[in-house]
Structure 1
Amino acid sequence: MGKTNHSKDAERLARQVGETLRRIRQERKMSLQELADITDVSKLTLGNIERGEANPSLTVIWKIANGLTIPISLLLNEGKEVLVSRKNEGNNVVSTNGACTLQPIFDTPNYGSFEIHRAFLKPNSEYSPGAHQMGVIEYVTVMEGELKVKIEDEYHHLYEYDSIKFNGDVEHAYMNPTNSVTVLHFVMTYTKPTS
């Protein structure tokens, strides 16, 4: 029996993330150890990712993007123009705990200043990405269901079509308090680091 579409997609995503990561690391003339130091991801794991031998979780992808100060969509970008982005087509990245599935929409082809995602948060679950790199602003709209957003020590309860904007460079978490999937629309903007 052949491989399922899901496992083929996971292999393709792993290859793509690996190739992109190696290209960025080489462009910046960094060793794997230097990359490990700034991302807090082990050298072994980074090596496996670059070779396409590991399917990194959303948490690891965030750590890499934060360390390199790039949008996560840059790591997921296939480099082809996309005119229509349909649900469940393209790349899916799942959080370590399996609670959140993120789908980048219209991947930015280079070091973009914003990115758009769909996200699906499982019933009665929580996704905690932690703090992102400095200058990230998140705009989140609930497309279906309910969402509780914890930003540092403050909670915000959102319902269908409610939106929230906040600085993503602080500790934050998303909680689905219902028995149904919550569907979210994310827009994330990035301020380019000054060097």
Structure 2
Amino acid sequence: MSINVRIANNVKKIREEKHITLDKAAALTGVSRSMLSQIEKGDVNPTISVIWKIANGFKVSFTSIMEEDNLESVVVKEVQPLINDEHQKYLNYPTFTFDDKKHFEMYRILIEEGGILNAEPHLVKSEEYITIFDGRAEISVGEEKFILEKGDSLKFAADQKHFYKNAGEGTCAISMLIYYS
């Protein structure tokens, strides 16, 4: 199943389970009614920012918008990124999607040289756990700025604006876990 179809099905399913009209969904998410309708039909490929707005407005995890049906045991092999923002030189590989029993989701992130990601605030009391596996990253959280090198890790409150920037040469490889309390 393509990512557009998966997103379309999940957005519509979540909206209907919460008994939210398209008009109310637009008000909750800040995404226009027509854009939401196009997303639910699979007619558009929403950006990372739009997916975050929908997830936050619906008060669900980011990966719940993209996930397939879960299995008990899963081996995740090297796959193509589900989100590839060529303009910002940012690749996102959702490795483990949100699970109601575990309350987290996990990603493998690659930021090419000169690449950035401006992240919208996640749900209240959410936390991010970051580990740099290769390269150098500048991570800003609110007014704080951190420079992380290979092997460094960072935990921060993710319910505020934050951004990631490749602060070195070559590709920066990051493991990201988002925990929802």
- TM-score normalised according to structure 2 size: 0.92
1:100-119 alignment, distance < 5 Å: 100-108=90-98, 110=100, 113-119=103-109
Q: Deviations over 1:37-71 (max 9, x none)?
A: 11111111110100011111111111111111111
Quick check: 1:160 aligned with 2:167? no
Report if aligned partners of 2:88, 2:116 keep a CA contact under 8 Å in 1: no
Q: Secondary structure at the match of 1:46?
A: helix
Q: Report the alpha carbon displacement of residue 19 of structure 1 after superposing the two structures with TM.
A: 0.6
The aligned length equals 180
Identify unmatched segments of 5+ residues in structure 2: none
Separation of aligned partners in 2, 1:32 and 1:51 = 13
Q: Which residue of 2 aligns with 1:139?
A: 129
Separation of aligned partners in 2, 1:54 and 1:23 = 17
Report if aligned partners of 1:73, 1:107 keep a CA contact under 8 Å in 2: yes
**Greater strand share, 1 or 2?**
2
Q: Which stretches of structure 1, 4 residues or more, deviate above 4 A after TM superposition?
A: 109-112
**Structure 1 residues 112, 13: closer, same or farther in 2, change over 3 A?**
farther
Q: Which residue of 2 aligns with 1:84?
A: 75
Quick check: 1:127 aligned with 2:120? no
Q: Deviations over 1:102-157 (max 9, x none)?
A: 11112235586111111111211221113222111000000111111111122111
Q: Report the alpha carbon displacement of residue 97 of structure 1 after superposing the two structures with TM.
A: 4.0
Q: Which residue of 2 aligns with 1:173?
A: 163
Question: AA paired with 2:79?
Answer: N
Report if aligned partners of 1:145, 1:183 keep a CA contact under 8 Å in 2: yes
**Structure 1 residues 14, 34: closer, same or farther in 2, change over 3 A?**
same
1:1-195 alignment, distance < 5 Å: 12-81=2-71, 83-89=74-80, 92-95=82-85, 97-108=87-98, 110=100, 113-191=103-181
Identify unmatched segments of 5+ residues in structure 1: 1-8
- TM-score normalised according to structure 1 size: 0.86
| Comparing 57-66 and 75-84, the one that deviates more | 75-84
Q: Report the alpha carbon displacement of residue 86 of structure 1 after superposing the two structures with TM.
A: 2.1
Report if aligned partners of 2:29, 2:57 keep a CA contact under 8 Å in 1: yes
Report if aligned partners of 1:95, 1:127 keep a CA contact under 8 Å in 2: no
